[in-house]
Amino acid sequence: MFLNVIIVSVLLMRVTDASPSNSFRVCDVRTPFRTWHVTPLWEHPAQVAGCSSRQTAARNQEVHFIYLNNQPTPDGHRQNSSSDTDIRWSLTDDGRQLVSVHVRPLAELRAHSGRLVLALHSDVPVAWRLVGERISTSIQHTIVVSGGGTIVESNNLLVNVIDRATSGGQGRGNTVQRQLNRLQKQFRVLTSFNRVQGANRIQLQVGLVDGAPLECDVAAVLRSGISGPISANLDGVIVEPVPTRDVSGCVMEDNGKDATKDVHIIQLVSEDAPKLDPSSTIDVTIEIKPRQRRPTRQVADLVERNMVIVLASNYRVQWRLRSLNVQGELDIVTEGSVETGHVTDSHWVSVKLDRELPEDSQQLVTYVATKYGAPLSLVKVESANKFLVTFDAGLPITASGGTTLEFTTNDKRRFYNSSRVGFSLMCTRFGTQ
C-alpha cells in the first residue's frame, strides 16, 4: 500500500501552536455516552462471492454488477442491523439503510481513466452513497439502480444515474436475474458480478483482474448460497456503532467556540491489556469527514478545518487515517504508529510521538489542555476498530462550480458539475443525534 510521507517531530512541531490553555471547562466523564463529534464503531467482514472476466465494452468501458443480499431475517430484522437503537446513525430520514460504495482501482499506484458502468441492486431498498478514489472525474460514469434504491450522495464521481425501480420495489420484474439480463442486453458485456450479504460499506476495485476468464460465471455465484467463489473485485463489511452503554466520555462545546483547532481525545483502554500478546497489533481506522445536517445541492469540494486528535491506548495499535473533502492541518498526538495512505492530499498531517499521555481520563484532559489546547470531546471505549470524526461543514472553501439535478422524461437522473471534479448531494443525517 502506498503511504504518504509522515512528518514526525519529537521536539517542536506545529501541533504546539494549538493554543494550549490554562483555563478550560473541566471534563465530566460519564457512561453511557454518545456524541456526533466522535463515533466509535465496529467493522466486521460480510460474506462476499463473485466472478470476474476480461470483457469490456466500447472504449474499454467496464461493467460491474453489485447485488446486495439484504433480505430481512425471519424475525423481521435486516441482516446488517443491530438490536441496539444506536444503529439509527446509519439510516436516512425515511428509515432506509445507508450503504456506502467506495470505488477505487485494482492498481495501487495508478488512477483509473476508463469509463465505468456500475449496477446496484438490493433485495430491500437502500440509500446508496458513492465515493470515488483515483477514479477519473473528467468523464461521466453510468450508475444503474434497481431494487427500489436511490443514490443520495456521490463524492469524486461524475455520474449519470439510471433508475430502474419498479412498482413495489421487490416485485417479480425486479429480480436479480432480470436486472442482470437487462444490463447485459444493453451493454453486451459483464466485467464482474458480485454478491455481498448484509454489508453497509462496500469497496469495489475496478480494472481487469489478471488471469480472469473470458466470461463471468454468474450461475456459480447465484447458486452458491452463503459461500461461493471468492470475489477478486469486491470487499464488504458491516459497520455498527459500539453501544452507548459501553462508551464513556464528555463534550465541552464551550472549549471549541473560539478555538483555532478542534481538539479531540480518543482513548482505548482495556482491563485485559496486560494479558494481550505484546507483539500483536490491532488496526484501528480514524475517518474524518464534514457533517451535513440537511440535503444540499451545493458543491463542497473541500471544507477547511484544523484539528488536533490525541490517540491514546494501553495496548498496541496501528492507527490508520482516512479523510474525505477536508482541507487544513491535522495534528496527531500518539504513542503508537500512524498510517496516512488514505488522507486527502490537501489534509496536512503532522504526527507527534508523546509517551507521557496519562491513562486516567480526567488527568489526560488536563494534560492535553495544557500542551495542545482545550479538548472539545473525549471518547473512551474498551475496544473498537474504527472511529468516525465529524465536524460542522459550514460553507465550502472551493465552490468552483454549480450542481444541477435534472429529471428527464425517460426516468433518468443526471448530475452535472461544471467544474468536473465530482459532486456531493447529501440527503442523509449521517452522524447526527
Please report which confidence band the pLDDT of residue 92 belongs to, taking 50, 70 and 90 as the band edges: confident
Average pLDDT of the chain to the nearest whole number: 78
pLDDT digits (tens, 9 = 90+) for 385-406: 999 999 987 543 332 222 222 2
- Residue with the bigger pLDDT between 358 and 303: it is 358
Nearest to 393 by CA among 294, 322, 254, 310: 294
Residue 152 has pLDDT above 80, yes or no: yes
CA angle 196, 416, 396 (to 5 degrees): 90
Please report which confidence band the pLDDT of residue 71 belongs to, taking 50, 70 and 90 as the band edges: confident
Residue 430 has pLDDT above 80, yes or no: no
Residue 269 has pLDDT above 80, yes or no: yes
| Residue 84 grid cell | 441496539
CA atoms within 13 A on the CB side of 148: 17
What pLDDT score was predicted for residue 255?
A: 72
Residue 299 has pLDDT above 50, yes or no: no
Residue 65 has pLDDT above 70, yes or no: yes
Please report which confidence band the pLDDT of residue 295 belongs to, taking 50, 70 and 90 as the band edges: very low
Question: Would you kindly state where each structural domain of the chain is located, as residue ranges?
Answer: 7-27+252-392, 43-240+400-417
CA-to-CA separations, 381 to 43, 81, 316, in angstroms, rounded: 15, 21, 15
Report field, pTM of the whole predicted structure over 0.85: no
Cis ω for the linkage preceding 40 (within 30 of 0) = no
| Residue 288 grid cell | 474524518
What pLDDT score was predicted for residue 341?
A: 81
Beta bridge partners of 103: 132, 204
- Residue with the bigger pLDDT between 290 and 291: it is 290
